């Protein structure tokens, strides 16, 4: 019986007495080959939605951006060992080029550093990149690093990162620059890099061949004598009100003290299991060290400031996931910052750090101009209420009349309105579509109103 419900027919095919094959015929499949069938029509016609949450993760649309990069040595380059720099190559003019890709997928901790809702690469990440490149060339001293243009990041943007070190000058000094490329072909991490994007310079630095210096003596007393504790429980809630949208990775300042000379001493740490391999000092830990400047000035300050220029940076140790900080402000507004590990051994010394005020509008505009939207995006546009015109608008209602417009003529449909205008009625400035009543069933109501509106518009 193939006309009521689909059945599965099982039979046996015999070729000889020793070779037997089983045949299974699914009549539902046979229907696609022309066999007439009548599917069952009994039942309620409705099925309740499952009560468990729907799964929203696709498995085939996105490219795999978490796979290991191609071996740099096989491409004639040198592996760098840095999480954000994949390879380095020495060019014929004796300059050195470091390359990498920045992605919130492969480096999700970067998303924890947002300012006024825009994710930007921390200034301390630029410093970490420059220090890593300097150590690659045997330098342990960075003379200056100046941040020029913020590097903004989004979920759909995977910029190409290039760090270039110039050939040495006569005195052995090198110039370092950090650029990103906004090639739209490579935003998803799968392009060829042949698009029409532009290069943006984000930072410049100067490396000097200063020989390594002897690190200072370890700090044995912590916190220092006569240091007074500072309440830091309101620090991060206060920073959030200023626009520092920091996630857990950048909320590591746990305790702070102030000495009579107005030097701030603090304990900072990274979240458990944060990988630090390859970093000179993890950018999140370095950035957290800068939070002591908020404490040094006024924990209730209403001004947002971001790093602008690092000067006189010396590295003594690497790879820490927790540190002690000493920060003091100079008369010129710059800060001196020293980091040691938890035993008091020196890690990094920054002679001077200058900051500048952050501009929320500029950051948002930079993010919009830098990143392309992959498909469509939703934006809130403020609607400015217009003043009522001096001459009242002529309106017409399609559908039943509205109580809020008692003197407005109504028409059953657009054809009726067109006919009235042809007979001499005024052409309305606005036409209001009054949707008909529906049932209480949300699915049926949605279908009815959508179809009615579509028909009217068409």
* Same domain membership, residue 158 and residue 293: yes
- Residue partners of 394: CB distance under 8 A and separation at least 6: 426, 427, 428, 429, 430
> What's the total number of domains in the chain?
3
* Same domain membership, residue 227 and residue 301: yes
* Same domain membership, residue 342 and residue 239: yes
Question: Lowest-confidence range among 46-55, 120-129, 133-142?
Answer: 46-55
- How confident is the model over 140-193, as pLDDT tens digits? 789 999 999 999 998 877 899 999 999 999 888 999 999 998 754 444 444 444
* Same domain membership, residue 224 and residue 164: yes
pLDDT at res. 17: 47
Cα–Cα distance between 156 and 119 in angstroms, integer?
12
* Same domain membership, residue 407 and residue 258: no
Half-sphere exposure of 407 (CA within 13 A, CB side): 3
- How confident is the model over 26-58, as pLDDT tens digits? 555 566 666 666 666 665 566 666 666 666 665
The CA-to-CA distance between both ends of the chain, in Å, stands at: 47
Q: Grade residue 23 by pLDDT with cuts at 50, 70 and 90.
A: very low
214: in domain: yes
380: in domain: no
* Same domain membership, residue 123 and residue 239: yes
Question: Lowest-confidence range among 20-24, 382-386, 421-425?
Answer: 20-24
- In Å, what is the CA distance from 270 to each residue of 252, 275, 281, 289, 319? 6, 9, 11, 11, 12
Q: What residue spans of 197-311 are helical by DSSP H? A: 235-242, 283-290, 292-297
49: in domain: no
* Same domain membership, residue 360 and residue 404: no
Mean pLDDT of the chain: 82
Statement: residue 64 has pLDDT above 80: no
* Same domain membership, residue 412 and residue 358: no
Domain of 156: which CATH number? 3.10.129.110
* Same domain membership, residue 320 and residue 178: yes
CB neighbours (10 Å) of residue 360?
A: 13
Beta strand ranges found along 285-429 (DSSP E): 305-315, 322-329, 335-340, 346-357, 395-398, 410-411
70: in domain: no
Quick one: tokens of 291?
């939070």
Q: Which of 370, 368, 373, 355 is nearest to 200 (CA)?
A: 370
Q: Which of 399, 227, 443 is nearest to 325 (CA)?
A: 227
Q: Grade residue 4 by pLDDT with cuts at 50, 70 and 90.
A: very low
Expressed as residue numbers, the domain containing 108 is 78-370
CB 182 within 8 A of CB 370: yes
DSSP letters, 104-115, are: TTT-GGGGGEEE
378: in domain: no
Question: Which position has the higher pLDDT, 368 or 70?
Answer: 368
Q: Which of 359, 270, 350, 356 is nearest to 312 (CA)?
A: 350
Average pLDDT over residues 68-90: 81
Q: What values do phi and psi take at 358, rounded to 5?
A: -85, 145
390: in domain: no
β-pair type (410-411, 335-340): unpaired
Q: What angle do CA 216, 289, 271 make, to 5 degrees?
A: 115
* Same domain membership, residue 136 and residue 3: no
* Same domain membership, residue 231 and residue 333: yes
279: in domain: yes
Q: What angle do CA 243, 249, 250 make, to 5 degrees?
A: 40
Q: What residue spans of 212-346 are helical by DSSP H? A: 235-242, 283-290, 292-297
56: in domain: no
pLDDT at res. 78: 86
CB 382 within 8 A of CB 418: no
pLDDT at res. 438: 84
Q: Which of 294, 305, 286, 284 is nearest to 232 (CA)?
A: 294
* Same domain membership, residue 440 and residue 340: no
pLDDT at res. 391: 76
- In Å, what is the CA distance from 63 to each residue of 67, 68, 196? 10, 13, 22
């Amino acid at each position: 019986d193939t006309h009521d419900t689909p059945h599965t027919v099982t039979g046996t095919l015999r070729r000889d007495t020793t070779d037997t094959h089983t045949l299974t015929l699914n009549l539902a499949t046979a229907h696609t080959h022309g066999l007439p069938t009548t599917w069952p029509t009994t039942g309620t016609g409705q099925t309740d939605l499952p009560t468990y949450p729907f799964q929203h993760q696709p498995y085939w649309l996105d490219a795999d951006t978490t796979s290991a990069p191609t071996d740099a040595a096989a491409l004639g380059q040198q592996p760098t060992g840095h999480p954000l720099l994949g390879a380095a190559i020495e060019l014929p003019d004796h300059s050195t080029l470091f390359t990498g890709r920045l992605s919130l997928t492969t480096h999700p901790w970067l998303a924890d550093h947002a300012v006024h809702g825009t994710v930007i690469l921390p200034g301390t990440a630029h410093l970490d990149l420059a220090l890593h490149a300097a150590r690659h060339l045997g330098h342990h001293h960075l003379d200056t690093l100046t941040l020029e243009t913020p590097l903004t990041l989004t979920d759909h943007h995977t910029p190409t990162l290039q760090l270039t070190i110039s050939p040495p000058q006569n005195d052995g000094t090198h110039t370092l620059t950090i650029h990103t490329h906004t090639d739209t072909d490579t935003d998803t991490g799968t392009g060829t890099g042949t698009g029409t994007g532009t290069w943006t310079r984000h930072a410049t630095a100067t490396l000097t061949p200063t020989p390594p210096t002897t690190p200072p003596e370890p700090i044995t007393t912590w916190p220092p004598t006569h240091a007074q504790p500072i309440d830091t429980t309101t620090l991060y809630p206060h920073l959030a009100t200023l626009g520092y949208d920091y996630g857990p990775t950048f909320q590591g300042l746990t305790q702070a003290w102030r000495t009579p000379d107005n030097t701030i001493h603090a304990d900072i740490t990274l979240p458990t299991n944060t990988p630090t391999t390859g970093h000179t000092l993890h950018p999140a830990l370095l950035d957290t060290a800068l939070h002591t400047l908020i404490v040094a000035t006024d924990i209730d300050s209403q001004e947002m400031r971001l790093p602008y220029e690092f000067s006189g940076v010396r590295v003594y140790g690497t790879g820490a996931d927790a540190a002690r900080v000493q920060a003091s402000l100079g008369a010129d507004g710059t800060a001196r910052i020293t980091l040691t590990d938890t035993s008091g051994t020196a890690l990094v010394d920054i002679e001077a750090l200058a900051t500048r005020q952050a501009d929320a509008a500029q950051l948002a505009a930079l993010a919009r101009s830098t990143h392309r939207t992959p498909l469509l995006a939703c934006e809130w546009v403020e609607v400015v209420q217009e003043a009522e015109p001096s001459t009242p608008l002529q309106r017409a209602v399609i559908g039943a009349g509205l109580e809020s417009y008692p003197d407005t003529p109504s028409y059953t449909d657009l054809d009726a309105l067109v006919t009235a205008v042809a007979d001499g009625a005024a052409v309305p400035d606005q036409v209001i579509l009054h949707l008909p009543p529906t049932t209480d069933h949300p699915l049926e109501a949605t279908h009815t109103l959508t179809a009615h509106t579509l028909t009217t518009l068409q």
